[in-house]
Amino acid sequence: MKTTLIIGAGGVSRVVVHKCVQNSDVFGRIVLASRTIAKCDLIKSDLPDADIETRSVDADSVDEIIKLIEDVDADIVINVALPYQDLTIMDACIATKTPYLDTANYEHPDEAKFEYKLQWARDEKFKEAGIMGLLGSGFDPGATNVFCAYAQKHYFDEIHTIDILDCNAGDHGYAFATNFNPEINLREVSSKGRYWEDGEWIETEPMEIMQVWDYPEVGPKDSYLLYHEELESLVKNIKGLKRIRFFMTFGQSYLTHMKCLENVGMLGIKEVEHKGTKIVPMEFLKTLLPDPASLGPRTTGKTNIGILAQGIKDGKKRKIYIYQVKDHEDCFAETNSQGVSYSTGVPAMIGAKLMLQGKWSGVGVFNLEELDPDPFMDEMNKQGLPWEIKEMEV
C-alpha cells in the first residue's frame, strides 16, 4: 500500500486530504504533517473513518523533513505548506529520492520575487535522484497551465495570445479578508503588474490596467492585470506565443482596504521596530485578518477561472475560451472548505494521483503544461472541477 505525505494543514490542505481519501485506492495511507499538529488533528476529525496519521514537522528544516519521509516511508510528498518551504521540502525529497509536488513557486520571506529560478535549478538533482517534481499544481498555476496545453494540443497549430481570467465572485460577508494565506495573497496583489509581449516583459503599476470580462454564470466584472507565476513557464513552453497576460477580479471594498493598508505601510515585508520589538507589518496584519480556512461556512457565490486563447488552426484564425465554474457552498458541503481552497486542492490531488499511477512520469522538475493534458482534464471532470470550452468569434 502507498503512503502519501501531505505537508501543511491550512485551507488547501483540508481539501487535498478530503480528495485523497476519496481516492484512497491510489493514495493509500495518508500522513498529514504540519507545524501545528492540532491543525492536522482538526482536519483528520472531518474524516473519522479514514486512514490518516498526523505528525508535527518544521518544514523549514531539511533534516526534520528527511527524518519524517524516512519514518513514514512516503511514496510522494504533497507540499501545501507555504511557498517559503518549497526548497527545503524539495531538498529533502532529493535526499530521500521521493517524488514531490507543490502549488506555488518558492518565495523568500523577505523579498517577493515570483520566480521558478531556484526550483528549476534543482532539475539536475531531481534527475540524478531519478524522481519527478511537479511545480505549481493548483488552479492558477496548475489547471490554467493544463488548459493552455489542452488548447495547444487539440485546438491550435499555433497560439498567439493568451489571457488568463481569474474571477472569485464569492462573498464572505467581511469588509476585508483574503481567500488564501493573507501574506502570500497580499504580496501578489500589491506588487507591480507585468505581462509578456513580443519577447519582452512589460511592467505596469499595481492595478494600472483594467478590463471588464463577462464571466459565464457570474456576469461582467472589473478584472485587473497582475503578474502571476504561471506566465514565466508558459512563455517558455507554449511555442509561437506573442503575448500573455493575467487578470484577476477584485471588489471595490477589497481594493479600498488594500490601498489604505499599503498607504500606511501595513503591507511591508521588512522588519520594523515597535516598542523595542521587531515586527513584520504584513505578518502582524495576518494575525488580525480572518483565517482563510474559516471562511468556508460563510462564503456564497461562484469562482470562474479560465483561459482565452487566440491563434491559428489550419491557416484560419481561431479563439477559444476554456473555463471552470465552482460554487463556494458546494465546495463547503463536500469538504468543509471554500471554493478557492477547493479549486487549489483538487488539482494538487489530481497531479499527485497521475504521478502515483504513472500516467504522468519523468525525471526532473516539470511545470504542468509540459505533460499530456488529457488525463488531467479527464480527472477534473470526475473530481468536482468540470470545465467548458466555448468557440468565440474572432
- Using CB under 6 A, which of 46, 51, 58, 283 touches ligand NDP? 58
Query: At what angle are helices 182-190 and 252-263 packed, to 10 degrees?
Result: 90
d(C-alpha 244, C-alpha 151), whole Å: 14
**Which lies closer to ligand NDP via its Cβ, residue 136 or residue 306?**
136
Shortest distance, position 217 Cβ to ligand NDP, whole Å: 19
Contact (CB, 8 A) for 310 and 141: no
- Assess 339 for contact with ligand NDP (CB under 6 A): no
**Which lies closer to ligand NDP via its Cβ, residue 156 or residue 379?**
379
Shortest distance, position 28 Cβ to ligand NDP, whole Å: 22
Which residues 6+ apart lie within 8 Å of 146 measured at CB?
347, 368, 369, 373, 376, 377, 380
Residue number, nearest CB to ligand NDP: 10
Verify cis geometry, omega within 30 degrees of 0, for the bond prior to 297. no
Using CB under 6 A as the criterion, what x/- string covers residues 279-318 for binding ligand NDP?
-------------xx-------------------------
Pick the closest to residue 30 from 63, 93, 94, 76 (CA basis). Answer: 76
- Assess 13 for contact with ligand NDP (CB under 6 A): yes
Shortest distance, position 263 Cβ to ligand NDP, whole Å: 25
Angle at 138 (CA atoms; ends 130, 259), nearest 5 degrees: 130
Q: Within positions 91 to 150, which residues make up the interface with ligand NDP, using CB under 6 A?
A: 103-104, 136, 138-142
Backbone angle region of 123, left / alpha / beta, with phi > 0 → left and psi within -120 to 50 → alpha:
alpha
**Which lies closer to ligand NDP via its Cβ, residue 10 or residue 170?**
10
- Assess 57 for contact with ligand NDP (CB under 6 A): yes
Contact (CB, 8 A) for 161 and 311: yes
Q: Count residues contacting ligand NDP (CB under 6 A)?
A: 34
- Assess 384 for contact with ligand NDP (CB under 6 A): no
Binding site for ligand NDP (CB under 6 A): 8-13, 34-36, 39, 57-60, 80-83, 85, 103-104, 136, 138-142, 180-181, 184, 292-293, 340, 344
